[in-house]
A and B are shown apart, each in its own frame.
Chain A
Amino acid sequence: MKPTVRPLRLQQPGRPVEPPRRAKMWKNNRREELRRAGRHSAGPGELAGAVGRRQFMQLLAAASGGVLLSPSVLLARSERDVPTEQLVRFPEKTDLILRTDRPPQLETPLRYFQADLTPNDAFYVRWHLEGIPTEVDRETFRLQLAGHVEKPLSLSLADLRAQFDPVSLVAVNQCSGNSRSFFTPRVAGGQWRNGAMGNARWTGVRLRDLLDRAGVKAGAIEVSFSGLDRGAFSTTPIFAKSLALDHARDGEVMVAYQMNGADLPMLNGFPLRLIVPGWYATYWVKALDAVTVLPEKFKGFWMDKAYRIPTSANAEESPDHLATETIPINRLSLRSLFVRPEPGEQLSAKKPFEIQGLAFDSGSGIQRVELASREGGPWEQAQLDPDLGKYSWRRWRFLWHPQTPGKYLLQVRAQNQAGEEQPTSLWNRAGYMRNVIEKMEVEVV
């Protein structure tokens, strides 16, 4: 049901004529336009302002048509034909890339990373256990704090808001297996591209304040965390993680009840989740309802067997020589990646293009980001956006004038204040911590 709208190419003062490429994209690539139509949950006025009145009208028409061509129709085809980038819309979410449906793993399309804070409805989703919470009563929910403490606590959401100082920080949440699908040789696990991450402002209470209220007894060494989710069978290990007591009490680890100024989406852990800034998202336990202080080391599958990395630098090992010793995954490794151009985007030699992307680490601060457009360099420095906080990602930009058509190999690398560098290659059996110097082939016409 294609609306028969012809884009008029009128020139208005001060506004460039639409490049022919856009109109062609709209006519011939319906999927592209559906993606663009599902871009924002902003209101019509803001959307019109962002993309221009003419495009807005086309988008509105296409968006309405897009509802009819939704995933359930696509699923009628044989499984073998399913494209790798199928979009689905889960509750409280916009169209996200379907990796798995049950339990859900939904990836954020790359273009949402053009915003500094990832919108709640575009934030990626990842659960381990099928029995995810789908219903929570704000009034009866309790966060239990127990174990090796003077006074166990049972706190309601209202208690957390009223009785403890709220704190906010902006932090990157990145899945340990983000970008796993790029490993060679390939490894099993969630087959993410770069979209299993997001940046948000987290608001809640310091875990330290909760622990102090309960009164940690002498001899306590660790704290464990678990949530409302569960598997179908009792034999499936409950998802539980632990941190060293000192880490838990560092004043930055927090229990968040808000994300970007709003309640956490149900799929991102409503009503509470743990925030462990600078560490991989496996520790950011969702639907947190139990905090237990321990006088001995925590024993559990998700710490002892899963989420382990080689002890070598960069968590590197080879398929022929697997590491014999492993430790739990921990700090984010230094990483930089492209947001624009997107893979497959065609650029024009005649016009400058702002290459942009992100860089982040575990909190020491990005010092420099460099770009090259050919194998071997030369490397030029990119411009860094203002710092949003040490645990936030940092946007970098580079205005590129290709001038000559052809195939280029864009590369980006970052350095941080701690002197870390990105490797050129990385492999481990679990597909964790990918942070290699990113390369993107770009065609300039």
Chain B
Amino acid sequence: MSLRKWKSRWCDLITSFRSLAYGVILWVATCHPSLRAFAGPHSQEQSQPASTSLTPSSSVRSIILPHFEPQLPVAPGRDEFLAVCVSCHSPRYVTMQPLFPQRQWEATVDKMAQTYGAQMDQEQRQSIVSYLVAIHGPSMKSEPVAPADDDFAASASPSMPPETAPGLELASDVVGQVERGLELFQKDCAACHGAKGRGDGFVSQVLLRKPKDLATTRYSLEALALVLWNGKRGTSMPSWRSLPPGDLAALAAYVQTIHPSTTPTSISSGPQPAGSKLFAQNCAPCHGPMGDGKGPVASTLLPKPANFRLKQPDPDYILQVLRDGISGTAMPAWQNQIAESDRQALAGYVRAIFDAANPSGR
């Protein structure tokens, strides 16, 4: 072999080894835990035992789905879209379509309501159609839509005052009513709220504002009536007006049983002077001075701040929320601003609001 040929083969070999070395270094680097975050949603699989688990001792085969939920652009109607549509499917079902005109979006939304059981009334239907036209209609060709925005408070929807819900009557046969409510719950609520109402249904993984863990909070009948009738704007909880009043009452009766009837109160719910002051300083702007969710800032927020006259969260849950906030809402984490003992006082005060507003306990 000539020296020249030998040299060229040697260069070739070195280049190959160098490429291989680079490749190996990069490959090893991407396995490093600190870099896993960049590897995208499927990195969840690497941190789990295996994306397809089939250990010799287990006959269960399972996968973990990644989520590629797109952000919803800001435009009027976004929270109606969120309330009615996102619980069933990703918004990509919209964005992958061509830019349809209004009549096509109307036909599509009607199909969702009539065929697939999407829960919406006429006003919501209008809002949703407007939203679809705004974010994926003919005008998109000339002007791009506003950039996506995670801050739900910036929703530009016209505010729709919630309708007064019809009063829900508890039947004399409460047991039968609760049984009926359980049946209904499994049909239409469990997918989000979980079979036992713990907020862990299979849809919950994709929702930013998680479905409520109904065991953490005691709800008055009025609270349940309102949310079943109006849905919860700013979340994927739709309104269920299509259900007959008897069914709504049954659902309310059942949901009340999810919360254990006797909660060990680690925090006294008598008069709370310290709590009152803290509440006025920190919480009243959103939750209102009476704790009814109608603070001066509340009108700009979605979902709305909690009305503590209607629901009484458990002490542990209140402390957890005060510490961590609630993602998908404007409720911040207070652990660095309010001392632990003060948070305890606040919890007691908040629970006292419900007792004062609901002396009969329902």
Contact = CB atoms under 8 A, between A and B. Distances in A.
Contact of A235 (B59, B63, B100, B188): B188
Interface bin, chain A: 35 or more
Contacts of B25: 64
B71 A79 contact: yes
Question: Which of A75, A263, A305 neighbours the largest number of chain B CB atoms within 10 Å of its CB?
Answer: A75
A306 to B, nearest CB: 8
Given A64-B23, A136-B61, A237-B116, A98 B40 contact: no
B110 interface: no
B358 interface: no
Nearest to A183: B98
Given A99-B92, A101-B68, A188-B97, A5 B61 contact: no
Contacts of A92: 51-52, 63
Interface string B165-201: 0000000000000000000000110011000000000
Interface stretch (B140-148, B261-269, B276-284): B140-148
A135 B60 contact: yes
Contacts of B144: 78, 80
A91 B63 contact: yes
Interface in B78-117: 87-90, 92-93, 95-98, 100, 104, 108, 115-117
B117 A5 contact: no
Given A3-B22, A70-B39, A79-B73, A91 B92 contact: no
B270 interface: no
A321 to B, nearest CB: 18
B300 interface: no
A101 B92 contact: yes
A363 B187 CA distance: 42
A91 B65 contact: yes
Interface string B230-273: 00000000000000000000000000000000000000000000
Interface string B23-59: 1111101100001001111100100000110000001
Nearest to A98: B68
A91 B52 contact: yes
A231 B116 contact: yes
A60 B66 CA distance: 25
B362 interface: no
A64 B25 CA distance: 9
A186 B118 CA distance: 25
B89 A102 contact: yes
Interface string A379-409: 0000000000000000000000000000000
Interface residues of B, number: 69
A28 interface: no
Contact of A57 (B23, B67, B69, B188): B23
B70 A79 contact: yes
Contact of B69 (A71, A99, A102): A102
Nearest to A137: B60
A364 B213 CA distance: 57
A91 B147 contact: no
Nearest to B184: A234
Interface in A62-104: 63-65, 67-68, 70-73, 75, 78-80, 82, 88-92, 98-104
A324 interface: no
A102 B15 contact: no
Given A137-B59, A188-B104, A232-B191, A64 B42 contact: no
B316 to A, nearest CB: 29
B261 to A, nearest CB: 28
A130 B88 CA distance: 6
B143 to A, nearest CB: 10
A235 to B, nearest CB: 2
Nearest to A138: B59
Given A5-B19, A101-B92, A301-B115, A75 B70 contact: yes
Contacts of A58: 19
B63 A231 contact: no
A100 B63 contact: no
B117 A234 contact: yes
9 smallest beta-carbon distances between A and B, as pairs: A235-B117, A70-B40, A64-B26, A57-B19, A60-B23, A91-B63, A234-B187, A232-B191, A135-B62
Interface of B: 8, 11-12, 15-16, 18-20, 22-27, 29-30, 35, 38-42, 45, 51-52, 59-71, 73, 87-90, 92-93, 95-98, 100, 104, 108, 115-119, 140, 144-145, 147-148, 187-188, 191-192, 202-203, 206
21 contacts: A5-B15, A5-B22, A53-B16, A60-B20, A67-B30, A67-B39, A71-B40, A80-B140, A80-B144, A100-B96, A101-B66, A101-B67, A130-B202, A135-B63, A136-B60, A191-B97, A191-B98, A232-B88, A233-B119, A236-B88, A301-B115
